[in-house]
Amino acid sequence: MDRPPTATGGLDPRRERAWIAAAPVLFVLLWSTGFIGAKLGLPHAEPFTFLLWRFVIVTALMAAVSVATRAPWPDTWAQAGRIAVTGLLVQGTYLGGIFASIHAGLPAAVAALIGGLQPLLTAIAAGPFLGERVTGRQWAGLVLGLGGVTLVLGDRITLEGTGLAGIAFAFVALFGITAGTLYQKRHGEGMDLRTGSVIQFAACIVPAAVLAVWLETMEVAWTGEFVFALAWLVLALSLGAISLLMLLIRRGAAAKVASLFYLVPPVTAVLAYFIFGETLSVVALGGMAVAVVGVALVTRT
């Protein structure tokens, strides 16, 4: 007999509603720091080696949490397999593509712009795959959001010195996060976020290890900067943002959830301004406002 869905690991209804209300804001803030963590950590380790350490640590931590809290595991191997597929798409394919594209020299702005296609692709596919209807207002919001992202990235969008490999990796990441969002929405009901995370990240360990052994030296410079970046990506991104994404996908329409990704480049730009001293132009600030309006049009009920 199937267990009822456990969206937030057993919280009482009142606290669960509070988490659901705060989840979109927390998700955007945490997800935006992923690019900062990658920029800090990748100079000290190659991409798949970096991800391998990340996946192993997250799997171990969540396994310990699952045992300590007696979290429920999937009832069948088929259910566990579907959870693993989501992990391979969202964690393995998306993160692998992003890290590899940055390591290959693709400017972060170009990677972000390619990633900005994800809400539109998700909306296009949501009808055939999920039976979801995207309204005219939501389509307008999706197009407006992409325009806002383009304005935010502005003059940082350049292909100078960019190889085809970096672009290809970015599109692999785009496919992974789009397909993973759709697949999770369709097959993710009943997944406990604790044991589900164990299965998802454990599924990514083998391909990451194979790629690291095959393509990389697997050397890591264990500097303070790398340790901080790894710890942040494990705790804030893999445990925090990914869990919030799974919760949001379960609770909302796929196109609405995907539209939140339009807010990631603006928030990342603000973080980069304070952390790395990068510039913020008037056009970029205007683009942030446009992106916010676009997301509001998509998510408004």
Q: What is the pLDDT of residue 157?
A: 66
Sorted by where each begins, the domain ranges of the chain are 13-299
Q: What is the pLDDT of residue 57?
A: 97
Q: What is the pLDDT of residue 272?
A: 77
> Strand pairing partners for 45?
220
Residues of the chain below pLDDT 50 = 1-9
Cα–Cα dist 36/98, whole Å: 12
Question: pLDDT tens digits, residue range 265-301?
Answer: 888 878 877 877 777 788 888 888 988 898 888 887 5
Cα–Cα dist 108/237, whole Å: 18
Q: What is the pLDDT of residue 85?
A: 96
Helices (H), the chain: 13-41, 47-68, 77-87, 96-103, 108-115, 118-130, 136-153, 164-187, 193-215, 224-232, 242-251, 254-259, 264-275, 282-299
Q: Taking the C-alpha atoms of 80, 81, 84 and 90 in order, what is their torsion angle to the nearest 10 degrees?
A: -120
Q: What is the pLDDT of residue 152?
A: 81
Q: What is the pLDDT of residue 196?
A: 93
Q: In this structure, what DSSP letter does residue 240 have?
A: I
Q: What is the pLDDT of residue 101?
A: 87
Task: Tell me the two tokens of residue 227.
Answer: 């340790």
Q: What is the pLDDT of residue 162?
A: 61
Helix axis angle for 164-187 and 242-251, nearest 10°, is 50
